[in-house]
Amino acid sequence: MDLQMGLVLLLSTAAYIGVGIAVGVRLVRLARRTKGFPERMLGISCLAGPGLVAPCLVVVHAIAEPEALVRAAAFVGQIGYALFCSVMVMFTWQCFRPDEGWARWLVRVSIATVVFSAIVGMARALGLASVLELRDMDHWAYRAIGIASVVGHLWTGLESFAYYGRMRKRRVLGLADPVVTNRFLLWGMVACGALVASGVPLAVGFLGGDSFNDVPTRLAGAAATIFGTVCLQLAFLPPQSYVRWLQKRALAAA
Amino acid sequence: MEAADPFQFVCDQLGEHVKLDRLALRGAVRLALKSAGFEPRGVRPSEMAVVVSRMLPKELTACGVVDPGPLCTRLAAAVSGLSASAAPDAPDAVFRRLGG
């Protein structure tokens, strides 16, 4: 991997971590004020994904010593990944389908899968696997969490885009705020970015490729991460200029 | 003022004034809601009032009702007077909150 590629990966990861933590902190603080379950779930997922999983992955893949640090990062990373996937599907369930039986079962199966796989991953981090083996993203336990993650992001994206379509119809009648309407679109795009970032390496792994060292795979992941990070920022921490632009555009269309 | 289901309220009121079978009436109201981006469950009275005045006349005309405009205007005024029930968080309310 050359220097330019390394820089792209570093920048995309740093942006993802920075924006994710900023959004996560804001949503958790909002949840403390409103006592709302969805904002708590979304806040925790932002803190767990970008705040825990990404830095731990960097440590596991970048260094081999000290071994205790790498094992600790792998251990904490598994907890973060399971937490991230669990709260993401809980957010989608509670926000879009709180009364649907199939959604409750999808959440249960998803959480059971990620918790079991994370326990296996934690056992490996504690000594069942060597430090270098901890980098193996094609291990079945890692793949199982990956599949749960892909399913969760796919579900989130579909629900968000479907609701965005409904909000657009409402907006024509003046019954929807343009900024809130746009937030559904952006959240769907965040899910698409996450879907590509987690789904492409998973697919490459299933096809027998080296998902971690394959350059196109890494570039696709980095591009999807940057795309998702920009959408996350615009959705939950938008600059005032973006909000004003949305409002102006809606006024012009009215 | 008691909280009522706006969808049910509109269907009941229409049934008293329009000679259409119950299924066709409910279907027309459902189609009006769908074309405005709503579902019967969870629609607020203020939103229902706009749907009734802006979208329902077209659906009723398609069902053969002659000049439904005045009726829909009266119905919109009546439904907007209903008090909103304490419904669980709709996605739009959640996403509005998430903006801070």
Closest-CA distance, B28 to chain A, in angstroms, reads 17
At residue A1, the pLDDT reads: 58
Contact A36 B96 (CB under 8 A): no
* Residue of A25, A166, A182 for testing the chain B interface, max B β-carbons within 10 Å: A166
pLDDT per residue as tens digits for the range A3-55: 777 788 888 889 999 999 999 999 999 999 998 899 999 999 999 989 899 88
> Does residue A2 register a pLDDT over 80?
no
Where do runs of H (alpha helix) occur along chain A? Answer: 3-34, 37-48, 54-62, 67-96, 101-123, 140-172, 178-206, 215-236, 240-253
Q: Which of B51, B91, B98 sits opposite A39 (nearest CB)?
A: B98
Using a CB–CB cutoff of 8 Å, tell me whether B98 touches chain A. yes
How far, CA to CA in Å, does A71 sit from each of A64, A76, A145? 9, 9, 19
Segment A155-177 shows an average pLDDT of: 95
Give the residue from chain B lying closest to A99, CA to CA. B88
Q: What is the pLDDT of residues B33-92, one digit of tens each?
A: 999 999 998 899 999 999 999 999 999 999 888 899 999 999 999 998 888 765 668 899
pLDDT at A158 over 90: yes
How far off is chain B from A41, nearest CA to CA, in Å? 11
Cβ pair A163:B92 closer than 8 A: yes
Cβ-based neighbours of A228, under 8 Å, separated by 6 or more:
A16, A189, A190, A192, A193, A194, A197
CB contact at 8 A, A187 and A156? yes
**Residue A160 vs residue B17, higher pLDDT:** A160
As a whole number of angstroms, the distance between CA B47 and CA B76 comes to 10
Query: Model confidence over A186-227: pLDDT tens digits?
Result: 999 999 999 999 899 888 888 888 777 788 888 888 899 999
Do B50 and A184 count as a contact with CB atoms less than 8 A apart? no
Res. A147: pLDDT tops 70: yes
| Average pLDDT over every residue of A58-72 | 87
Distance CA A157, CA A153 (A): 6
Average pLDDT rounded to a whole number, residues A52-75: 88
Mean pLDDT for chain A overall:
91
Whether B40 has its CB under 8 Å from any CB of chain A: the answer is no
Asked if residue A91 lies in contact with residue A153, where contact means CB atoms within 8 angstroms, the answer is no
Say which residue, A6 or A159, is predicted with more confidence.
A159
Please check whether residue B93 touches A, CB under 8 A: no
**CA separation, residue A100 to residues A106, A109, B90, B92 (Å):** 10, 15, 14, 18
Q: What is the pLDDT of residue B1?
A: 46
Q: What percent of chain A has pLDDT over 90?
A: 66
Say yes or no for a CB contact (<8 Å) between B98 and A179. no
Task: From B75, B17, B81, select the one nearest B44 (Cα to Cα).
Answer: B81
pLDDT value, residue A46: 92
B80 in contact with A, Cβ within 8 Å: no
pLDDT of residue B92: 92
Q: Which of A34, A168, A184 sits opposite B95 (nearest CB)?
A: A184
Length of chain A: 254
Q: A187 vs chain B: nearest CA distance in angstroms?
A: 10
Higher pLDDT, A91 or A214: A91
